[in-house]
């Protein structure tokens, strides 16, 4: 995979002028292709204007326009977002985060898939710029939730289960029967090993997530007996709820039990749509049309009631607030 970064001239005309000044018969020009190809192909010099214009347009597109394929298209597909998914959707629209990601080296870290299906990322070092955003490592802001694993920092997740893995004794029949493997949790599993060797596992499924801090499990696919640790009695209620989630993860879900509290939260969905439309330069009326429909806007926008206008403004403000840091509250 090729990594790199570049700066774009303020206009396509400036880029073309620069190209004309430096062009010579010995130069070889390359075409910009769609970003998924991540490759360059040699072209004829007569096509350089068309390709430079396309390249300039791509580099200067607002990030959310590249990431979305039609207003609200992803919403109907991801009806069971959990808190971490919603947090990522708002964070990845932050222009400052996207700028930090572009400056990061490397921009992509290799993520392995273990034999049991667990996604594993081993961090070679700490990434303080990513930690500033509540992440252990940067994730590509062009990828929506569930398209790539997002590794949140334990401090951002706030509620973490502490699990100590005890090797099952050969002569202990009861202990052998209680032994488990991570694959027993029949949901998505994203594991990360930090530079100090600490293992953090994020389990995601059924509209919720549970972060688990693993101790004494050097091989993630090895069988173990789980011992859950509690730091204080004041944390008992929270830890009990998280352990109940883990218990539900061990039962295969055959029929959907409905959406999660976050997946069914219409306000979050509407706030994200309002944010996208606002970043696209739409007016409040156009934003309201996208969210509530043309008929409702035509009937109520010019009426005596200010309810629809105020609601639209609040949704834009909420989406902007979540993008600029409020997403951390969703993780708690």
d(CA 102, CA 113): 25
Question: Is the pTM above the cut of 0.95?
Answer: no
Dist. CA 323–CA 317, nearest whole Å:
10
Enumerate the β-bridge partners of residue 202. 190, 211
How do residues 306-332 score in pLDDT, each as one tens digit? 999 999 999 999 999 999 999 999 997
Q: How many CB atoms lie within 10 A of CB 195?
A: 11
What's the pLDDT tens digit per position in 142-196? 999 888 889 999 999 989 999 999 988 765 555 556 789 999 999 999 999 999 9
Instruction: Give percent above pLDDT 90 in the chain.
Output: 57
Neighbours of 150 (CB within 10 A): 24
Of 7-21, 173-187, 190-204, 275-289, give the lowest mean pLDDT range.
7-21
pLDDT tens sequence across 212-264: 999 999 999 999 999 999 988 999 999 999 999 999 999 987 655 544 444 45
Do 153 and 131 contact (CB within 8 A), yes or no?
yes
Number of other residues whose CB lies within 10 A of the CB of residue 258: 12
Q: With a cut of 80, say whether residue 96 has pLDDT above it.
A: yes
Handedness of CA 150, 151, 153, 158 (dihedral sign): positive
Break the chain into its structural domains and give their ranges: 12-60, 105-249, 266-331
Q: What CA–CA distance (Å, rounded) separates 269 from 248?
A: 26
* Residue 80 tokens, joined: 């069971």
Q: From CA 188, how far away is CA 183, in angstroms rounded?
A: 10
Q: Which residue has the tokens 């394929």?
A: 69
Integer Cα distance of 6 and 264 in angstroms: 40
pLDDT surpassing 90 at residue 81: no
Q: Comparing C-alpha atoms, which of 41, 253, 111, 126 is closest to residue 245?
A: 253
Average confidence (pLDDT) over 112-120: 94
The answer for residues whose C-beta is within 8 angstroms of residue 61's C-beta and 6 or more apart is: none
pLDDT at 174: 55
Q: Is 150 helix (H, G, I), strand (E, B) or coil?
A: coil
Mean pLDDT of 100-124: 92
């Amino acid at each position: 995979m090729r990594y790199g970064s570049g700066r774009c001239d303020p206009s396509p005309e400036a880029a073309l002028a620069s190209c004309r000044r430096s062009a010579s018969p010995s130069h070889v020009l390359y075409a910009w292709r769609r970003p998924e190809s991540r490759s360059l192909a040699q072209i004829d010099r007569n096509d350089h204007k068309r390709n430079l214009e396309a390249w300039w347009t791509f580099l200067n597109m607002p990030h959310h326009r590249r990431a979305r394929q039609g207003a609200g298209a992803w919403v109907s597909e991801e009806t069971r977002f959990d808190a971490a998914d919603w947090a990522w959707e708002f964070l990845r629209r932050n222009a400052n985060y996207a700028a930090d990601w572009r400056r990061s080296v490397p921009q992509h870290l290799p993520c392995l898939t273990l034999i049991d299906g667990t996604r594993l990322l081993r961090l070679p070092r700490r990434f303080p710029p990513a930690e500033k955003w509540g992440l252990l490592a940067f994730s590509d802001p062009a990828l929506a939730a569930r398209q790539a694993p997002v590794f949140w920092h334990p401090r951002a997740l706030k509620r973490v289960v502490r699990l100590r893995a005890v090797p099952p004794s050969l002569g202990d029949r009861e202990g052998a029967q209680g032994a488990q493997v991570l694959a027993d949790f029949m949901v998505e599993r994203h594991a990360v090993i930090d530079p100090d060797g600490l293992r953090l596992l994020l389990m995601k499924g059924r509209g919720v997530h549970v972060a688990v801090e693993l101790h004494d499990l050097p091989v993630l696919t090895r069988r173990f007996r789980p011992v859950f640790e509690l730091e204080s009695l004041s944390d008992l209620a929270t830890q009990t709820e998280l352990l109940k989630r883990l218990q539900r993860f061990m039962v295969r879900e055959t029929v959907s039990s409905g959406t999660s509290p976050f997946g069914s939260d219409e306000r979050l969905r509407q706030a994200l749509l309002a944010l996208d439309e606002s970043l696209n330069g739409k007016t409040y009326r156009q934003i309201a049309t996208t969210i509530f429909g043309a008929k409702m806007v035509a009937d109520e926008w010019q009426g005596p009631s200010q309810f629809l206008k105020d609601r639209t403004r609040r949704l834009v403000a909420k989406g902007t607030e979540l993008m600029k840091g409020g997403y951390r509250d969703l993780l708690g």
